[in-house]
Amino acid sequence: MNLRNGEGGELLPGIRIDDMGTKTVANDLDNARVWFDQVRLPKDALLNKFADIKDDKYVQTTDEKMRIEVIGQRLLTGRMAIAEAALLSARVLTMKTEEYAKTKVCNGINGETTLASMPQLASVFEESYQQLDDQIAFTAGVEERLNECLRTGSIPDADLVDAISVCKVRAIDVAIQRSHALRQEVRSHALVSHTPHARAHAHAHAHAHA
């Protein structure tokens, strides 16, 4: 059924909505409430993928009953998307910072050189690519297991659910750590608003806190 009228977009009588406001984390995810006060819904407006009302009786319409695992399956794909976004942003950040460092001239022991040739920064690039690529490979393996469940309509087992949780937490952790390591070494160059690192770092940080 429609929640609003088709002309001005006002809520229909008996329907109230409310945004739950700013949360401590994950503000990119909307949380809201909807009230129905003395509103009669037609039977064809019911959320009836798993159950329905037939001949005034509640009947199950599929072999799979609606369970928390079924509802939670929607959350699992979201966790994978957040993990992959964090890793991709951090890797793009690393690549763009490396490109910038190759062109940035600075003073070395033997005179002018590029920022990328400084041993400490070269080490950070190597560590960043290794850690990010390892986590990307792990995430891809977990995603393939989840894809198989989605293709077959099966419920992920406890081991897969745990692996997906690890993906999100670990991916965000690695993305933040590697972004911070780059910023520490690039230092003042990263604070210039027009540099690739500054722009990419802000983008990666936003994804990482999703």
Asked if residue 176 lies in contact with residue 208, where contact means CB atoms within 8 angstroms, the answer is yes
Asked if residue 144 lies in contact with residue 150, where contact means CB atoms within 8 angstroms, the answer is no
Q: What is the mean pLDDT of residues 96-111?
A: 84
Tokens matching residue 154: 């099966």
Q: Describe the crossing of helices 158-186 and 196-208 by its angle, rounded to 10 degrees.
A: 150
pLDDT above 70 (res 198): no
Asked if residue 190 lies in contact with residue 197, where contact means CB atoms within 8 angstroms, the answer is yes
Q: What is the pLDDT of residue 14?
A: 93
What is the per-residue burial (b if ≥16 Cβ within 10 Å, else e) of 58-78?
eeeeeeeeeeeeeeebeebee
Q: What is the mean pLDDT of residues 61-74?
A: 65
Lowest mean pLDDT among 11-20, 60-69, 90-99, 113-122: 60-69
In percent, how much of the chain has pLDDT > 90? 37
Rg (CA), the chain: 25
Q: Model confidence at 137, in pLDDT bands (50, 70, 90)?
A: very high
Asked if residue 113 lies in contact with residue 106, where contact means CB atoms within 8 angstroms, the answer is yes
Q: Model confidence at 13, in pLDDT bands (50, 70, 90)?
A: very high
SS3 53: strand
